[in-house]
Amino acid sequence: MKILVAGVGNVLLGDDGFGVEVVRRLRERGGARAAEVRDFGIRGQDLALALLDGWDAVILIDAARRGKQPGTLSVLEPQPGRAAALAGHALDPASVLATARAMGGRVGRLRLIACEPAAFPGDEEDLVMGLSPCVAACVEPACAIVESLIGQVEVEHA
């Protein structure tokens, strides 16, 4: 069984660095041992290439505007024709997934853990280091969700 946990986002754009921070924390606390945990940052091509490795499950972690209160965590199950729900910023995970599929990549089960950002500069000239307090407070709960999803996949494939 192969599970990829992929943190995406730009740490120079405030809350957009949420996925990267969750992956860092997972590694720090030794969680998600049954999965490959990787920080893709803004490297969409690297993520697309990684998706060619035939994963049984992929868990993406990202900041995404969904019209919720800042700091709200959502677990989404994007479907192949409905990838637009993934588009959140310049990395555009929807395009990455479409590229990987076009190149023959197979992802068995896909989940997106999305955090509603409070600070999400739209202009790359507005560099902001660090997460806002409400998004930073979601890092540990997001780690717990990742570990729970990994456990679910393990049970399903047992």
**CB distance 57 to 33 below 8 Å:** no
Tell me the domains of the chain and their CATH numbers: 3-156 (3.40.50.1450)
When pLDDT is averaged across residues 141-147 and rounded to a whole number, the result is 95
Strand partners, 60: 6, 112
What is the tens place of the pLDDT at every residue in 76-126? 987 654 443 344 344 556 666 666 666 776 677 889 999 999 866 554 556
Tokens read off for 44: 């969409």
3 state DSSP class of 17: helix
Lowest-confidence range among 36-40, 72-76, 153-157? 153-157
> What's the DSSP call for residue 15?
G
pLDDT for position 29 = 81
- C-alpha 140/C-alpha 122 separation (Å) is 26
Percent of residues, the chain, with pLDDT higher than 90: 40
- Cβ neighbours, 10 Å, residue 1: 14
- C-alpha 23/C-alpha 142 separation (Å) is 10
pLDDT averaged over every residue in the chain:
82
Give the HSE-up count for residue 97: Cα atoms under 13 Å, Cβ half-sphere: 25
pLDDT for position 31 = 62
Tokens read off for 61: 């972690």
Q: Is the dihedral of CA 135, 110, 24, 104 positive or negative?
A: negative
Percent of residues, the chain, with pLDDT higher than 70: 76
3 state DSSP class of 13: strand
- C-alpha 71/C-alpha 40 separation (Å) is 22
